[in-house]
Chains A and B, each alone.
Chain A
Amino acid sequence: MTLRVAWLLARSGTGSRAATLLPIVAFAVVTALLLVVAGGAQAFWSWTDQTAGVYQVLSAIALALLVVPLLALGGSAARLSARRRDDRLSTLRLLGATPATVARLTVLESTALALAGAVVGVIGYFALVPAVALIPFRAEALGIPALVLAPWAIAAAVAGIAVVAAVSALIGLRQVVISPLGVRTRQNAPRLRWVRVAVGAAVIALALLLTNIVQIDVGITVIAIVLGCLFGGTLAVLNLVGPFVLRLMARRQVRRARTAAQLLGGRTVLESPKAAWRQVSGVAMTSFMAVFAGTGVAVLNAISGSEGATASDRALVTDIGTGLTITLVISFLMVACSAGVNQAADVFDRGDLYVNLGYLGMPRRIMDAARERAVMWPLVVVAVGSAAIAAIVVLPLAGYTLIVAPLSLLTIALSIAAGIGLVWAAMRLTRPVLTARLAAAA
Chain B
Amino acid sequence: MASSILSARDIRKSYGSTVALDGVSLEIEAGESLALMGPSGSGKTTLLHLLAGILTPDSGEVGWNEHGSWQRVDQMKESRRSQLRRESFGFVFQQGLLIPELTALENVALALMIDGVSRPQSEQRARQKLAALGLEGMEDRRIGQLSGGQAQRVAIARAQVADAEIVFADEPTGALDSHTSEDVMTALLGATTGQGRSLVLVTHDETVAARCSRLLRMRDGRIVQQTRSIPEHPGITYTEARS
Interface residues of A (CB under 8 A from B): 185-189, 257-260, 263-264, 267-268, 270-271, 352-353, 356-363, 366, 442
Contacts and interface: CB of A to CB of B under 8 A. Distances in A.
Given A186-B144, A356-B91, A361 B106 contact: no
Contacts of B99: 264, 267, 353, 357
B186 to A, nearest CB: 23
A346 to B, nearest CB: 12
B114 A186 contact: no
Contacts of B232: none
Contact of A263 (B84, B91, B113): B113
Given A264-B99, A363-B79, A187 B145 contact: yes
A360 B79 contact: no
Interface string B30-69: 0000000000000000000000101100000000000000
Nearest to B55: A442
A263 B114 contact: no
A353 B86 CA distance: 16
A185 B54 contact: no
Contacts of A271: 100-101
A14 B108 CA distance: 35
10 contacts: A185-B144, A186-B101, A187-B145, A189-B142, A356-B93, A359-B85, A359-B93, A361-B89, A361-B115, A442-B54
B145 A361 contact: no
A259 B85 contact: no
B114 A361 contact: yes
Given A186-B100, A186-B142, A186-B144, A260 B110 contact: yes
Interface string B184-228: 000000000000000000000000000000000000000000000
Nearest to B103: A267
A356 B111 CA distance: 12
B118 A258 contact: yes
B24 interface: no
A362 B115 CA distance: 8
Nearest to B95: A352
A359 B101 contact: no
B82 A361 contact: yes
A187 B144 contact: yes
Contacts of B106: 263, 267
B142 A359 contact: no
Contacts of B89: 361
Given A260-B110, A360-B86, A361-B83, A353 B97 contact: yes
Contacts, number: 72
A429 B28 CA distance: 43
B119 interface: yes
Contacts of A264: 99, 102, 110
Contact of A360 (B102, B114, B119, B145): B114
B144 A267 contact: no
B111 A360 contact: yes
Given A264-B99, A360-B111, 15 more contacts: A186-B101, A187-B144, A187-B145, A257-B119, A260-B113, A260-B114, A263-B106, A356-B91, A356-B93, A358-B82, A359-B93, A360-B86, A361-B115, A363-B79, A363-B114
Interface string B147-176: 000000000001000000000000000000
Contact of A267 (B101, B111, B158): B101
A258 B119 contact: yes
A360 B167 CA distance: 11
B113 to A, nearest CB: 4
B159 to A, nearest CB: 8
B241 to A, nearest CB: 32
A185, A264, A267, A360: most-surrounded residue (chain B CB, <10 A): A360
A186 B93 CA distance: 20
Contact of B84 (A187, A356, A358, A361): A361
Nearest to A267: B101
A82 to B, nearest CB: 20
Contacts of A366: 114
A360 B52 CA distance: 10
A264 B110 CA distance: 9
A257, A357, A359: most-surrounded residue (chain B CB, <10 A): A359
Report, nearest first, the 9 A-B pairs whose CB atoms are least far apart: A361-B86, A361-B85, A271-B101, A356-B97, A260-B113, A267-B101, A361-B82, A186-B144, A260-B114
B52 A359 contact: yes
A312 B240 CA distance: 98
Contacts of B110: 260, 263-264
Contacts of B52: 359
A137 B113 CA distance: 57
Contacts of A357: 99
Contacts of A258: 118-119
